[in-house]
Amino acid sequence: MASEPGSSSTTRPATLGELRASGWQSVPVKEEIRRNAVARLAAGDAIVEGVHGYEDSVLPQLENALLAGHDVVFLGERGQAKSRIIRSLVQLLDPHLPIVAGSEIHDDPYAPVSPFARELVAEAGDDTPIAWVGRDERYGEKLATPDISIADLIGEVDPIKVAEGRYLSDELTIHYGLVPRTNRGIFAINELPDLAERIQVGLLNVLEERDVQIRGYKVRLPLDVFLVASANPEDYTNRGRIITPLKDRFGAQIRTHYPLDAEMEMAITAQEVRPPAAGERVVCVAPFMRRIVAELSQLARESTEVNQRSGVSVRMTITNEETLVANALRRALRLGEDEVAPRVSDLPALAASTMGKVEFETVDDGREGQIIERLVSKAVLNVYREEVRADEVRPLLAAVEDGLTVEAGPDMTSAEIVAQVEGLAEPFPAALMCTGGETPGGIAAALELVLEGLHLSKRLNKDPFGERTLYTAR
């Protein structure tokens, strides 16, 4: 699996003889991955691209495993980029790999494994036709479920081939499963502990003993596979969920984790979020609104009222930000505004997107909504305290204490909210504004944060009526 000769299909060797003449050499798949990983590291490139927050934890462990040639199991709760990391390992394979043409299991032309390829090479010799497969064709993945069979992973006798006159003991009667079809490649099993123990034994036999029993007879399958798996830590560590010999097969056990702070959560969200199209309307999401969304997820991961065993996925943060923008867009469409600027009054819309992403410890009807509401309020308060100093809101607070009342709500335009504080000098810090200058949407969003923060800090009263909220002096 050295550098392939030629750069296009017209210049690559087409026969075994041409392949030998080109100087191409075959190496095990783990050696191929190691060589390409070494090249990336030496060049200062990332082993895995598009993954944030693992630079000092997960990725160094992964690099060690790849350099050591170890099979890997990733342990972590949902939404910790396990599948993304696993699938990105395909980029460490060579762009193309020569196989015996027509082989179902990517037979190495120099050392064929299947009866079909062995017979073809024996008969044709240097005239054996060669085909080239790309990286993606060398990757296989399966979600472990209790109903998976040996036939799915390893293979089964094909009744059609038997009907054609072959004997059951003939290996040519076998229809290969997913693992043999990723020979000389990467095979991933998601949620490994959910695989039935008898299937784990069959998988181990293929990976370690290089054989498997199908329909009562032993089939020799000396496969070359880099095995990667994912699992929930709780399931993986329980005795009896995974057979010890298969667990021992993995040279590296890597623990993933959620973003350690709101900044990293925001960086991941910025990469992954797909907000709804707003047409020609300007979308202005203030940084503090993004921080509130990220802080909500951080708080949920610490809450005793949220089931931490099931985890709080980063997907919740991504979905919540998309929902936040969607709610602001809906308001802009209904009220005829040209600017889409999420505000604190849009945050109740996150209940719908949050509810389906977390599991609660309580089962009382209606309690879930209250829990989310408390978490959102705490997130707003935390961000307010981080972003705003007391002296920066004294003009607004003094005006309210002198009798000013301010209304806010999702049924009010930004201009209507801003008009209530016209003539008031610096009602909030300029740093809260969206990038792009002082727009009505940006001003309204900043004003709502300050008003809600003052209320949560017990400096203002908040009286709800209908969809609106009235902020008054205490």
Is 374 in the same domain as 442?
yes
Of 237, 255, 273, the domain-final residue: 255
Instruction: Please indicate, yes or no, whether residues 278 and 237 belong to a single structural domain of this protein.
Output: no
CATH number at residue 75: 3.40.50.300
Best CA proximity match to 116, nearest among 21, 183, 19:
183
Residue 5 lies in a domain: no
User: CA–CA distance from 138 to each of 98, 175, 180, 326, 400 (Å)?
Assistant: 11, 18, 11, 40, 67
Q: Is residue 135 part of a domain?
A: yes
Residues 340 and 436 occupy one common structural domain? yes
- Say whether both 63 and 91 belong to one domain: yes
Locate 10 and state its tokens: 């017209």
Q: Which of 224, 255, 286 delimits the end of a domain?
A: 255
Lowest mean pLDDT among 151-160, 219-228, 399-408: 151-160
CB 183 within 8 A of CB 210: no
| Rounded percentage of the chain residues whose pLDDT exceeds 90 | 53
**What pLDDT shows up at residue 277?**
78
Full 3-state SS string of the chain: CCCCCCCCCCCCCCEHHHHHHHCCCCCCHHHHHHHHHHHHHHCCCCCCCCCCCCCCCHHHHHHHHHHHCCCEEEECCCCCCHHHHHHHHHHHCCCEEEEECCCCCCCECCECCCHHHHHHHHHHHHHCEEEEEECHHHEEEEECCCCCCHHHHCEEECHHHHHCCCCCCCHHHEEECHHHHCCCEEEEEECHHHCCHHHHHHHHHHHHHCEEEECCEEEECCCCEEEEEEECHHHHHCCCCCCHHHHHHCCEEEECCCCCCHHHHHHHHHHHCCCCCCCCCEECCCHHHHHHHHHHHHHHCCCCCECCCCCCCHHHHHHHHHHHHHHHHHHHHHHCCCEECCCHHHHHHHHHHHHCCCCECCCCCCHHHHHHHHHHHHHHHHHHHHHCCHHHHHHHHHHHHCCCCEEECCCCCHHHHHHCCCCCCCCCCHHHCCCCCCCHHHHHHHHHHHHHHHHHCCCEEEEEECCEEEEEEC
User: How many domains does the chain contain in total?
Assistant: 2
Identify the CA nearest to 383 among candidates 457, 466, 308: 457
pLDDT value at residue 36? 96
Answer with the one of 234, 255, 276 that is the final residue of a domain.
255
Residues 283 and 48: beta-carbon distance below 8 Å: no
At residue 279, does pLDDT exceed 50?
A: yes
Q: Is residue 306 domain-shared with residue 454, that is, in the same domain?
A: yes
Which residues are 15's β-sheet partners? 129
Cβ count within 10 A of residue 111: 12
Q: Does any domain span residue 111?
A: yes
Q: How many CA atoms lie within 13 A of 434 on its CB side?
A: 22
Does residue 208 share a domain with residue 328? no
Please give the C-alpha separations between residue 396 and each of 367, 406, 415, 471, in angstroms, as whole numbers.
35, 10, 18, 11
Contact 149, 120 (CB under 8 A): no
Q: Give the C-alpha separation, 424 to 445, whole Å.
A: 16
CA end-to-end span of the chain: 74
Q: Residue 310 to residues 295, 301, 334, 361: CA-CA distances in angstroms? A: 19, 10, 38, 11
Q: What is the pLDDT of residue 311?
A: 86
* 308 lies in the same domain as 448: yes
Q: What is the pLDDT of residue 84?
A: 92
Same domain, 228 and 375: no
Mean pLDDT rounded to a whole number for the chain: 87
**Claim to verify: residue 441 and residue 334 sit in the same structural domain:** yes
Q: What is the band of 296 on the pLDDT scale with cuts at 50, 70, 90? A: very high
Q: How far apart are CA 435 and CA 263, in angstroms?
A: 18
At 1 the pLDDT is 45
- φ, ψ of residue 401 to 5 degrees: the values are -65, -25
CA distance 59 to 317: 23
Is 126 or 4 the better-scoring residue by pLDDT?
A: 126
Residue at 10 is within a domain: no
Partners of residue 185 on adjacent β-strands: 225
pLDDT digits (tens, 9 = 90+) for 46-83: 999 888 899 999 999 999 999 999 999 999 988 899 99
Residue 322 covered by a domain: yes
Res. 35 pLDDT band, cuts 50 70 90: very high
pTM: 0.84
Asked if residue 372 belongs to a domain, the reply is yes
Tokens at 2, concatenated = 């050295």
Residue 11 lies in a domain: no
Domain containing 106: what range? 16-255
Chain segment 140-171, per-residue pLDDT in tens: 999 988 888 888 888 776 666 655 655 555 56
Same domain membership, residue 272 and residue 129: no
Q: How far apart are CA 415 and CA 417, in angstroms?
A: 5
- Structure tokens that stand for 307 in this block: 């089931």
Residues 281, 355: one domain? Answer: yes
Domain assignment of residue 6, yes or no = no
Residues 244 and 211 in one domain: yes
Q: Is 436 exposed, middle or buried (0-12, 13-18, 19+ CB in 10 A)?
A: exposed
